[in-house]
Structure 1
Amino acid sequence: MNQIDLGEDPLALDRQVCFALSVASRNVISVYRPLLAPLNLTHPQYLVMLALWERSPRSAKDLCGALQADPATLSPLLKRLESIGYLERRRSTEDERLLAVGLTDKGRELRVEAEKIPYRVVELLDMQVSELEQLNETLTKVIIATRRVLDAE
């Protein structure tokens, strides 16, 4: 087995992956906040809308999987998005146990405005698209690795 070298101080705050991810996540979400406000969306609601703009309708269970969220987290987001007219929830006609979630016309139309957001984020961060794509790829590897660890527990 290979020795892992974590340097002189393995507990140095600025060397912790969890610290960097936490601060970066908080800061990036803060960059999105004023861009989403005119759309009447919070960041978690935006993620739901992104999933629905990819495919609608979809089951609530499918949305939970796509967003890697549990039903208790997703349910209030769906209720709020329904109350502002962006989506509708209905029991599936094939299987009444399934909740189908679909975009309304208003929700579909919102996509036109939302398409401007990724471009604005790239401008605000003043980073190359290739750098952000590499970061996304690396974070996806972290997500997969942590899922593997968590699933093994």
Structure 2
Amino acid sequence: MNDDQLKLDNQLCHRLYMASNGLIRAYRPLLEALNLTYPQYVVMMALWEQDGISIQRLLAKTVIDGGAMSLILKKMKEKDLLSITQSEEDKRKKLLHLLPAGKALKITAAEVPTKIRCAFPNIAPDEVQILNRLLDKVCLDLNADEPEDNK
């Protein structure tokens, strides 16, 4: 056995873990100003993209666990950011609609991506695109065994 394979510095998983934690820390003060957690921010971005989305479609789009999503939506409903209604076509389907406060939050949140981008002074714009493509490949590979309706 080669001891190098167990060195922390040689682990892709640890680099991704550190990057994820660092990114969440960078987002924290920006999202506190919006009174949102990071998962709530992800949900809001999905709703700003497509208001009236079904919970099932939201789960697929955000890749947030169903149990966690229930808690996230409950808290966001309590904050009067969104409403949850039954679909007219299919009563089993629940739809999410932004309330005025949720729609208004989009204006304030518009500056968040630019501020986060400033947290990466060592990464050139073309490198961001490369990083996005590589991370897409990582996600594709790691989620290859999931059923199609969970993607």
Q: Same fold by TM-score, threshold 0.5 exceeded?
A: yes
Q: Is 1:43 matched with 2:5?
A: no
CA RMSD of aligned residues (A): 1.5
* 1:109-144 deviation per Cα after TM superposition (whole angstroms, max 9, x unaligned): 111111100101111221333222221211111000
Query: Structure 2 counterpart of 1:90, which letter?
Result: T
SS at match of 1:148: coil
Segments of structure 2 that go 5 or more residues without pairing to the other structure are: none
Q: Alignment partner for residue 63 of structure 2, among 20, 43, 68? A: 68
Secondary structure of the residue that 1:58 maps to in structure 2?
coil
* Deviations 1:6-55 (CA, angstroms, capped at 9, x unpaired): x8711111111110111100000100000011110000110011111110
Gaps of 5+ in 1: 1-6
Q: Are the equivalent residues in 2 in contact too, given 1:58–1:102 (CA < 8 A)?
A: yes
Q: What code does the residue aligned with 2:120 have?
A: L
Residue in 2 that maps onto 1:138: 134
SS at match of 2:4: coil
- Which one-letter code corresponds to 1:45 in the other structure? Q
Give the structure, 1 or 2, with the largest relative contact order (CA under 8 Å, sep 6 or more).
2
Alignment of 1:103-142 (within 5 A): 103-126=98-121, 127-142=123-138
Distance 2:3 2:61 in 1: 40
What's the secondary structure of 1:102's corresponding residue? Answer: strand
Identical aligned pairs, as a percentage? 34
What secondary structure does 2:26 align onto? helix
1:85 aligns with one of 80, 93, 104: 80
* Residue from 15, 19, 33 that aligns with 1:20: 15
The 10-residue stretch of structure 1 (22-31 or 141-150) with the greater mean CA deviation from structure 2: 141-150
TM (norm. structure 1) is: 0.89
1:17–1:149: structure 2 CA closer, same or farther, 3 Å change rule? farther
Cα deviations by residue, 1:62-119 (Å, 9 ceiling, x for unpaired): 0000011232111110111111111111111211111101111111111111110010
Report the equivalent of 1:3: none
Q: What amino acid maps onto 1:62 in structure 2?
A: R
